[in-house]
Structure 1
Amino acid sequence: MERRSLCVPIVILLMQCVPSLPVTVSTNKQKVEVREFADAVLSCIFRTERDQNPRIEWKKKGKDVSFVYFDGHFRGPFEGRASIDGATVTLHKVTQEDAGEYRCEISAPFDSVNLGETNVTLRVLVPPNTPACEIPSAAVTGSSVQLRCRDHQSIPPATYAWYKNDQLMIPPRHANATYLINTITGLLEFKAVAKEDSGRYSCRASNGVGKPTMCEGRHMTIEDVNVTSVVVAVVVICLLVVVCGCGGFLMHRNGFFTPGHRGRSFWISECHGAAHISSQNLNRTEDTSNVNYIPPPQEPQDFKHTQSFML
């Protein structure tokens, strides 16, 4: 009996010495990926030391931290389209605006460590839209041609494949290939197109989310260089050069560009004539202004003896 009475206080003492765990918070999945307009589950699991009624808060990080769940209610754009089970939140029909990083916070004031948190990243996946394709309608043999295909809205970014006459074009692996395909940027490049490259081209975009999409096919025609037109153009240019050269030579030979050329003398004589006419007009103006002019009376001169006479 004495031994039993001694064991009871020892057990109680040991129980009091065992450290209790403070509040802990974790998640089953830190990165959540769902398709657009589907439901996203953001898990939050917690355990407290003593507090049986901790405070649960969800926040979304961004330029500014905003409340998702606070004081027992969903806030802002999540009001009416989210639910909570324990501390796990389900967002219904998510969109691109819902993508981002979320934080679950558990506050237990009666615990020795009274605050715990965990982060969950939500990524909203978007299937590819119809890609925008740039396909030239015609090109000349031997020229470099680029065909482009791009979808800016798919998440994750789409990869691209090109088709010619509804047949998949395999990206070449050797350096001497006549064309190159970049499956990441969607660029199809011909180093030097030939007649056999004519055909109907289309592009397909896919990213593993939903069905792949294709742009409308377009026909590209490769035409030979019109040699006759090139020769005619060269002959016409040469004739123009010869005619201009001969005309300049003849004009120089006839003294058109010399200082004594009639054209220059004509302009000089014209200038002199204009100056003479201007001078005459000036003189006439002066004469007209002097018609009513009356000279002032002269002062009487001193008498001078000009002839001898006798009394």
Structure 2
Amino acid sequence: MNTLKLLALHLLVSLLHCPFCVLVTVSSSKPQVEVHEHTDAVLTCEFRTEKDQNPRIEWKKKGKAVTFVYFNHKFTGSYAGRAKIEGATLTIHSVTQRDSGEYRCEVTAGEDHVNLGEATVTLNVLVPPHVPSCEVPTSVFVGSGLELLCKDKLSVPPATYRWYKDNKALMTTAGTPYSIDMNMGTLKLKSVSKTDEGMYRCESFNSVGAPKSCVAQQLNVIEYPWNLAILISGAAAFVMFIFFCCLCVYVCRRRGCCKKDKKTKSTKCFNPPPPPPPPIHNLKHYKQTHSFMI
């Protein structure tokens, strides 16, 4: 904004000093350019000066930072060797998506009273559809939910998508058991049945080129075997039985019906038995100290 104010002020001062001067003017007859990838893009720039017959011409590209395309009479960076300039009009050969963006043509006439003019041109490189990446599982169980994915990240404008089963386009109606998002490229089935088995492929298309399709992939729908179903049912029943038992024990303890009566302790005294008599072989040590008569 400050630059524009200074430019306007400088223009006003120049007009006051030279009311009949022809000021430098820069314009583009085609400010919006759309071309297909790998073709030439012509960015027009016309200018008129007051006195300077050999003004300085520069082209810049605006992105995260402003970079030079044409500076000091030569091209810079990736534009060297694949671009040319005629007057102030810029031609870029074999453009790619990286060349898309906003370009600015600047003309500086040092001999003029108002010596700077500029014009902006926006380049949009159109890219036809590419072969999309498709995600289709090889097998799925009956009754399972399923989502098939399709994506083309390179096409410009962004691609939209169609899904095919056994080379027949899938169309969504009120009664179909699936849904398709044409912008996101998803095919969703809430509950897979045996009739959903088949070859699936996805196609990406836009307004630039011919549609492109991925290779068809086989989807197999597997039914649960009886032994597996019985095993799953038995395991579920066992888990429910254990849970029921734990719940019964918990409720019983909460109500106090599982407490045991404490046994009363005995108050009888315990008398140890008398010591045994000495062994017979110790009698020889016995001496009679008194005599007595019966």
Q: Residues 75-90 of structure 1: matches in 2 within 5 Å? A: 75-90=76-91
Residue 212 of structure 1 is matched in structure 2 by 211
Q: Aligned with 2:199: secondary structure?
A: strand
- For residues 49 and 63 of structure 1, do their structure 2 counterparts lie closer, same or farther at Cα, with a shift above 3 Å needed? same
| Per-residue CA distance 1:33-59 (angstroms, 9 max, x = gap) | 222221111110112233222221111
Residue 308 of structure 1 is matched in structure 2 by none
Task: Identify which range, 117-126 or 39-48, moves more after superposition.
Answer: 117-126
Counterpart of 2:221 in structure 1: which amino acid? I
- Counterpart CA distance in 2 for 1:56 and 1:240 is 82
- Counterpart CA distance in 1 for 2:105 and 2:223 is 68
RMSD: 2.8
Residue 125 of structure 1 is matched in structure 2 by 126
Counterpart of 1:213 in structure 2: which amino acid? K
Once the two structures are TM-superposed, the CA of residue 241 in structure 1 deviates from its matched residue by 8.7
- For residues 235 and 55 of structure 1, do their structure 2 counterparts lie closer, same or farther at Cα, with a shift above 3 Å needed? closer
Paired-residue identity, %: 47
Counterpart of 1:22 in structure 2: which amino acid? L
- Counterpart CA distance in 2 for 1:239 and 1:54 is 91
Residue 35 of structure 2 is matched in structure 1 by 34
- Counterpart CA distance in 2 for 1:112 and 1:178 is 73
Residue 289 of structure 1 is matched in structure 2 by none
Residue 66 of structure 1 is matched in structure 2 by 67
- Counterpart CA distance in 2 for 1:234 and 1:33 is 63
Residue 114 of structure 1 is matched in structure 2 by 115
Residue 180 of structure 2 is matched in structure 1 by 181
Bigger radius of gyration among the two: 1
- For residues 146 and 84 of structure 1, do their structure 2 counterparts lie closer, same or farther at Cα, with a shift above 3 Å needed? same
Counterpart of 1:195 in structure 2: which amino acid? K
- Counterpart CA distance in 1 for 2:76 and 2:225 is 71
Once the two structures are TM-superposed, the CA of residue 228 in structure 1 deviates from its matched residue by 4.9
Counterpart of 1:208 in structure 2: which amino acid? S
- Counterpart CA distance in 2 for 1:77 and 1:238 is 70
Counterpart of 1:142 in structure 2: which amino acid? G
Once the two structures are TM-superposed, the CA of residue 147 in structure 1 deviates from its matched residue by 0.6
Higher helix share: 1
Counterpart of 1:215 in structure 2: which amino acid? C
Give the alignment's TM-score, normalised by structure 1.
0.66
- Counterpart CA distance in 1 for 2:70 and 2:227 is 78
Residue 279 of structure 2 is matched in structure 1 by none
Residue 50 of structure 1 is matched in structure 2 by 51
- Counterpart CA distance in 1 for 2:65 and 2:234 is 72
Q: Aligned with 2:163: secondary structure?
A: strand
Counterpart of 1:107 in structure 2: which amino acid? T
- Counterpart CA distance in 2 for 1:43 and 1:23 is 17
- Are residues 1:136 and 2:169 paired? no
Gaps of 5+ in 2: 1-17, 246-294
- Counterpart CA distance in 2 for 1:26 and 1:53 is 17
Counterpart of 2:162 in structure 1: which amino acid? A
Residue 12 of structure 2 is matched in structure 1 by none
Once the two structures are TM-superposed, the CA of residue 239 in structure 1 deviates from its matched residue by 7.0
- Counterpart CA distance in 2 for 1:28 and 1:154 is 28
Gaps of 5+ in 1: 1-16, 246-311
Residue 201 of structure 1 is matched in structure 2 by 200
Q: Residues 1-311 of structure 1: matches in 2 within 5 Å? A: 19-172=20-173, 174=174, 176-235=175-234, 238=237
- Counterpart CA distance in 1 for 2:115 and 2:20 is 16
Give the alignment's TM-score, normalised by structure 2.
0.69
Once the two structures are TM-superposed, the CA of residue 81 in structure 1 deviates from its matched residue by 1.6
| Per-residue CA distance 1:169-205 (angstroms, 9 max, x = gap) | 1233x3x531110011100001222222211110001
- Counterpart CA distance in 2 for 1:233 and 1:137 is 24
